[in-house]
Chain A
Amino acid sequence: MAEPALKTGEIFDEGLDKGIAKLTPEKIEQVVSSVLANETGARLRVYTDTCVHCGLCSEACHFYLSNDNNPAFSPAGKVKQTLWEILKKKGRVSPEFIKHAAEIAYTECNLCRRCSMYCPFGIDIAYLMLVIRRICHKLGVTPQYIQTTAHSHAATLNQMWVKDDEWIDTLMWQEEEAQDEISDLRIPLEKEGADVFYSVIGPEPKFRAQLIYQAAVIMNGAGVDWTMPATPGWDNSDMCMYTGDNEVMGRLKRAHFEAAMRLKVKRIVMGECGHAFRSVYDMGNRWLTWKMPPIPVIHALEFYHDIFKEGKIKIARKYDQPVTLHDPCNVVRGRGLHEMSRYVVNQTCEKLIEMEPNREHNFCCSAGGGVINCGPPFKNKRVEGNRTKAEQLFVAKAKGAKTVIAPCHNCHGGLEDIIHHYGLNMELKFLGDIIYECMEK
């Protein structure tokens, strides 16, 4: 019935191409049936049986909207091209089909869950895309960049091949740097019984050590009894969750929580990262059968909110450029922190100009779900697949917003590319950047 929608240009990705070169139809069939039989159940069945093919989820998806309403990018359209076909053919699909399915699941869906709020049945398209990713992982067909990141996670328990000593050394270095500004500042390593365990993502020590510095200044300024581990488990990020390597996802989350448990802390506070929050709060813990995180996890937005509410941080002078605020999917649809982030923005900035739609209805940055981690081969598709966000930003800019606050690492990366590609010329900041800049020190 439906004609295949046109998509331009074949993408070359070594991970996908070398992956399918090793596949045989038998292997595909065997892996598909084992994943479907052993790892999925009622949810998958009900979601596929219940979908009435109504297309109401389409306009939820920024990929669909940005690709001129190309139905191949609609949420259910992605399921049609992947899971429905696999179920219909009982796994008897070709290696090329798998490559196409991998491309859709890994690079054309951010698992942002916006569509679940638009589908009348609440069908969890993101979950279905994760099932496809799981199949692709088991078939060894994953985009090269994200796969090498998954290897880093497996080998070092962090995202960036950071070695044990490099991690500690970075913290000591940031402590020293910060002491030039605040002489009694300390980044307490391995302090058992501290109140807060602060965890970050791999790219922070590697590329954005400044953020650790800022976090230390904020912790110090708010008088928090905190610590950071000097062992693996410091990294809360998780690309294995997105490649479909659930076993390593579990291993990472276990290392993270057990580092906190070993240090006998009351709660884990994590930096401004969305996907990591999803991993510790929603997915990784579940794989390990922790219904909720064993040690409460407080995302930076909630933490900032609390310290401002309790008056632990004073603002010297508010940030005077008008700002707009991006709502990261994983902490807004994933945790409902949108009012807290607005509270902090209003405490720290003169003027907030809202993007529309916002809060739970925000549009994803198109970097999430591991899409940005699939790297350069898919960059154009990702950035062009989010014209919607550019339009949102453009409107905010027209209303006067100069700075975009994106309290999530992935969003930061995604929005940076969008701002650049669409020539928006807006400044991009973490909320921590603003707090650090404006607080009394």
Chain B
Amino acid sequence: MHGFYDFVSGPLVWISFILFICGSLYRLITMAVLAKEKDPMVYAYMDFYYAIRSIFHWIIPFGSVNMRRQPAMTIVTFAFHICLICVPLFLFAHVILWKESWNISWWFLSDGAADIMTMIVIGSCIFFLVRRLTRPEVRYLTSYSDFITLAIVAAPFITGFWVYHQWIGYKIMLIFHILSGEIMLVAIPFTRLSHMIFFPFTRGYMGSEFGAVKNARDW
């Protein structure tokens, strides 16, 4: 047990971070090269100002017409993504780990806040799950991989929540927590979660096409 814990919290962390960073770079670079070769026009039309203009409208809550049309989805999506990124980065327990290993530290969340934010992530995942199952247009697009992706995202938060509250078997859960966090990191570049790395490019490109060429707004 202990040996496995050491492995999960030692070498596997390294491996998962390396896979996450290198995998993301790999995806970005191969796409950039592929685009140069097969879609050279992407480079010709990409326009920094209009890309930023579009991205800006889409990372501000209710910045686009569709976000205003779907208020519940918008609130949940923003809350989810903010918490999803902030909790692992600013959780006191995580900051401590960085401090211990690398002697670097930064601002952290109060435990109470982190707890609420974790619940928001879990709640959002449930919202997404229910939405996926009940809204016909979403259900129609759904494949098993979408549930798996959702599970990959939810798992570190559920297990972390468990561990924090020291519920039964939390020691084992801690291992699951670390493991699921690592799985999620690795999954980012190689699954649909890659929307995280590609968002600025797809949105930016559409923003450039609409703004610079077509003189229109895309939000």
Contact with A along B182-219 (1 / 0, CB 8 A): 00000000001011001101110111001001111111
Once bound together, how far apart are the Cα atoms of A55 and B32, in whole Å? 27
The reply to whether B39 and A120 contact each other, CB–CB distance below 8 Å, is no
Is A1 a contact partner of B142 (Cβ separation < 8 A)? yes
Q: Does B44 sit at the interface, judged by CB under 8 A?
A: yes
Q: Considering the chains assembled together, what is the distance between the CA atoms of A137 and B143 in angstroms? A: 29
Mask, A356-371, CB within 8 Å of B = 1, is 0100110000000000
In the complex, which residue of chain B has the Cβ closest to the Cβ of A46? B198
- Which A residues are CB-close (under 8 A) to B205? 43, 122
Asked whether B54 is an interface residue with its Cβ less than 8 Å from the other chain, the reply is yes
Task: For the complex formed, measure the closest distance between the CB of B57 and the CB atoms of chain A, giving whole angstroms.
Answer: 10
A375–B70 alpha-carbon span in the complex (Å): 36
Given A74-B137, A122-B218, A360-B216, A53 and B39 contact (CB-CB distance below 8 Å): no
Residues of B with C-beta under 8 A to A292: 213
- Determine whether A45 belongs to the interface, using a CB cutoff of 8 Å to chain B: yes
Bound Cα distance A28, B58 (Å): 39
Residue of B nearest to A124 (CB): B206
**Cβ contacts under 8 Å, B72 to chain A:** none
The residues in A between 333 and 391 inclusive whose CB is less than 8 angstroms from any CB of B are 333-337, 357, 360-361
Give the residue of B69, B138, B219 whose beta carbon is less than 8 angstroms from that of A53.
B138
Are B39 and A121 neighbours in the complex by a CB distance under 8 Å? no
Interface residues in A1-19 by Cβ distance below 8 A to B read 1-3, 5
User: Is B206's CB under 8 angstroms from A80's CB?
Assistant: no
Instruction: Say if the beta carbon of B130 comes within 8 Å of chain A.
Output: no
B136 close to A (CB within 8 Å): yes
The answer to whether A60 and B66 have CB atoms under 8 Å apart is yes
Question: CB of B141 within 8 A of chain A?
Answer: yes
Could you mark each residue 27-65 of chain A with 1 if its beta carbon is under 8 Å from any beta carbon of chain B, else 0?
Answer: 000000000000111110111011111111011100010
Chain B interface size range: 35 or more
**Do residues A71 and B141 form an inter-chain contact, with CB atoms below 8 A?**
yes
Contact yes or no, B216 A336, CB < 8 A: yes
Q: Please determine whether A40 and B216 come into contact, CB atoms closer than 8 angstroms.
A: no
Do the beta carbons of A291 and B44 come within 8 Å of each other?
yes
Which B residues touch A5, using CB under 8 A?
Answer: 140
- Given A2-B142, A282-B213, A360-B217, A64:B137 Cβ within 8 A: yes
Whether, in the assembled complex, B102 has its beta carbon less than 8 Å from a beta carbon of chain A, the answer is: no
- Shortest CB-to-CB span from A252 to chain B, Å, is 19
Q: B144 at the A/B interface (Cβ < 8 Å)?
A: yes
Q: Nearest chain A CB to B72's CB is how many angstroms away?
A: 12
With A60-B66, A117-B66, A118-B66 in contact, do A336 and B214 touch (Cβ < 8 Å)? yes
B82 close to chain A: CB less than 8 A? no
Bound-state Cα–Cα, A59 to B137, Å: 9
B15 in the interface (beta carbon within 8 A): no
Q: Does A332 contact B (CB under 8 A)?
A: yes
Interface presence of B171 (CB below 8 A): no
Q: A56-B73, A333-B214 are in contact. Are A41 and B198 (CB under 8 A)?
A: no
Q: Report how far A64 CA is from B146 CA in the complex, Å.
A: 22
In whole angstroms, how far apart are the Cα atoms of A336 and B65 in the complex?
A: 17
Q: In the complex, A337 Cα to B39 Cα: how many Å? A: 28
Does A276 sit at the interface, judged by CB under 8 A? no
Nearest chain B residue, comparing its CB with the CB of A54: B138
CB pair B213–A117 under 8 Å, yes or no, is: no
Q: Map CB proximity to A onto B106-147 as digits: 1 under 8 Å, 0 otherwise.
A: 000000000000000000000000000001111111111010
Residue of B nearest to A72 (CB): B140
CB of A121 within 8 A of CB of B199, answer yes
Find out whether the CB atom of A40 lies under 8 angstroms from the CB atom of B38: yes
Contacts of A64 in B (CB 8 A): 137
- Whether A43 pairs with B216 at a CB distance below 8 angstroms is no
What residue in chain A is nearest B128 (Cβ atoms)?
Answer: A54
Chain B residues within 8 Å of A117, by CB: 64-66, 210, 217-219
Taking CB atoms, residues of chain A closer than 8 Å to B146 are: 52-53
Q: Are A58 and B137 in contact (CB under 8 A)?
A: yes
Shortest CB-to-CB span from B170 to chain A, Å, is 32
Within 8 A of A (CB), among B38-84: 38-39, 41-42, 44-45, 54, 58, 64-66, 69-70, 73
B218 contacts across to A, CB distance below 8 A: 116-117, 122, 360
A2 touches B139 (CB 8 A): yes
| Assembly CA distance A406 to B106 (angstroms) | 59
Is A109 close to B, CB under 8 A?
no
Q: Which residues of B contact A2 (CB under 8 A)?
A: 139-143
For B39, what are the chain A residues with a Cβ–Cβ distance below 8 Å? 41-43
In the docked arrangement, what's the CA distance between A64 and B138, Å? 13
Q: Is B35 in contact with chain A by the CB < 8 A criterion? A: yes
**Distance, CA A76 to CA B138, complexed state (A):** 9
Chain B contacts of A210 at CB under 8 A? none
Q: With contacts A69-B137, A116-B210 known, what are 10 further pairs, Cβ within 8 A?
A: A2-B141, A41-B37, A45-B31, A49-B192, A55-B138, A55-B140, A117-B219, A121-B198, A286-B41, A333-B214
A-B contact pairs, 23 of them (CB 8 A): A1-B142, A1-B144, A2-B143, A5-B140, A39-B38, A40-B38, A41-B34, A50-B194, A53-B146, A55-B135, A55-B137, A59-B66, A71-B137, A72-B140, A117-B66, A120-B66, A121-B198, A121-B203, A122-B58, A122-B202, A122-B206, A124-B206, A335-B215
Q: Which 5 A-B pairs have the closest CB atoms?
A: A41-B38, A122-B206, A336-B215, A71-B140, A42-B35
